[in-house]
Amino acid sequence: MKDCLVHAKTFARIAPRLKGLEDKLNMIVMDDNGVFSKASTGEVVTEPKPEIVFGTADAFWGPHVRTFMMAVVSGGRLDWFQSAAAGIENPAFVMIGKAANKFTTNHTQSEAMSEWALWQALDYFRHGPKHRAQQAAGVWDRLDSREIRGSKWLIVGFGSIGSSTGRRVMALGGQVTGVKRSQGLVEGADRIVHPDEVMAELPDADVVLVCVPHTPETEGIANADFFAAMKPDALFMNLGRGALVNEPDLMAALDAGRPGHAALDVASEEPLPQDNPLWTHPKITLTPHDSPQTHGTVIGADDTFIENLHRYFNGEPLKHLIDKSEFA
């Protein structure tokens, strides 16, 4: 029997789907007070030593995330960690990845995040801010707008988020150029170019979406030169990490009129301090890193865990398994 650790809220969702595995799993839950207990009896567990862990937003964003993470890595028996997130660059995930024999991720967030990108593009193309200002002022003034159809998108980083966004854009008649190191056409793109070609592609793009992982090579890739190469009426969006963007350069570029607008779901410092100028810049739409925070993402992550759980006990390959070398 394997000790499996989850947050209490997560367990409440997935418990009905664990039927038939009672003889294989000893479920341990952590509540919002940071207390661990056996799900079957309510008995308090003072030193959990989990072999399987399902790490979800219930734990990641809860008041005792550190307590949860320490239980994950300090037990010394961790065989498999299933993350509800797609990325692995967070230092906590690196620590867990080194401790676990198997680390799997979840890609359902990309669906919600790609809808965020479409929402921002449509709002910009359709003059959302100006229409809302006119409504507040009682002004009836028709505005000429743009469409996704015929627009040219440059998506820097063509993993699950980029591909998911590209599929939606193409379905609406947009043209998509994806940027990734490995070449060859992939779903959701009309063409693929190498990262070295980004600067040459920027002047032709109506929308530029950045969604690459944060690495030493990608830190600050969106800088003054990057923005200067964009169209004056282009939209810049960041769905990756805040460190990908030189924020002072972005604000200066917007003030200079190139690009036309920016939509950011991430920032270099999170939570963003109230006195940060990103909050009040008239050409920036800012959301608090909640693009993946949807009902569908939660259900999709649960689905991935349940499927992988059956694969685990059946000795089958796990979905979205990360190579151990990624945590070296």
pLDDT in tens, the chain (328 residues): 999 999 999 999 999 999 999 999 999 999 999 999 999 999 999 999 999 999 999 998 889 999 999 999 998 999 999 999 888 888 899 999 999 999 999 989 999 999 999 999 999 999 999 999 999 999 999 999 999 999 999 999 999 999 999 999 999 999 999 999 988 878 999 999 999 999 999 999 999 999 999 999 999 999 999 999 999 999 999 999 999 999 999 999 999 999 999 999 999 999 999 999 999 999 999 999 999 999 999 999 999 999 999 999 999 999 999 999 999 8
Catalytic hit among 7, 168, 214, 241: 241
Determine if residue 178 is left, alpha or beta; phi over 0 gives left, psi from -120 to 50 gives alpha, anything else beta. Answer: beta
- Supply the pLDDT for residue 181: 93
Residue 237 amino acid letter? M
Task: Specify whether domain 147-286 bears CATH 3.40.50.720.
Answer: yes
Determine if residue 188 is left, alpha or beta; phi over 0 gives left, psi from -120 to 50 gives alpha, anything else beta. Answer: left
- Supply the pLDDT for residue 171: 99
> How far is it, in rounded angstroms, from Cα 11 to Cα 34?
15
- Supply the pLDDT for residue 87: 84
- Supply the pLDDT for residue 186: 87
Contacts (Cβ under 8 Å, ≥6 apart) of 34: 63, 64, 67, 68
Contacts (Cβ under 8 Å, ≥6 apart) of 118: 148, 165, 168, 169, 172
Contacts (Cβ under 8 Å, ≥6 apart) of 325: none
Check if the beta carbon of residue 269 is closer than 8 Å to that of residue 294.
no
Check if the beta carbon of residue 232 is closer than 8 Å to that of residue 260.
yes
Instruction: Give, as one character, the DSSP assignment of residue 229.
Output: T
- Supply the pLDDT for residue 61: 87
Annotation marks residue 241 as catalytic: yes
Superfamily of domain 2-108+294-327: NAD(P)-binding Rossmann-like Domain (3.40.50.720)
**In the chain, where the domains are located:** 2-108+294-327, 147-286
Give whole-number Cα distances, 259 to 70, 154, 157, 205, 230, in Å: 44, 14, 20, 11, 6
Catalytic hit among 127, 131, 281, 289: 289
Annotation marks residue 77 as catalytic: no
Q: Which helix (H) or strand (E) holds 237?
A: strand 235-238
- What residues pair up with 30 in beta bridges, in sequence order? 7, 36
- Supply the pLDDT for residue 39: 97
> How far is it, in rounded angstroms, from Cα 100 to Cα 250?
39
Query: Is 75 in a helix, a strand, or coil?
Result: coil
Backbone angles phi, psi at 9, to 5 degrees: -70, -35
Which residue carries 């793009």 as its tokens?
A: 205
- Supply the pLDDT for residue 124: 99
Reported pTM: 0.91
Instruction: Give, as one character, the DSSP assignment of residue 25.
Output: E
- Supply the pLDDT for residue 272: 98
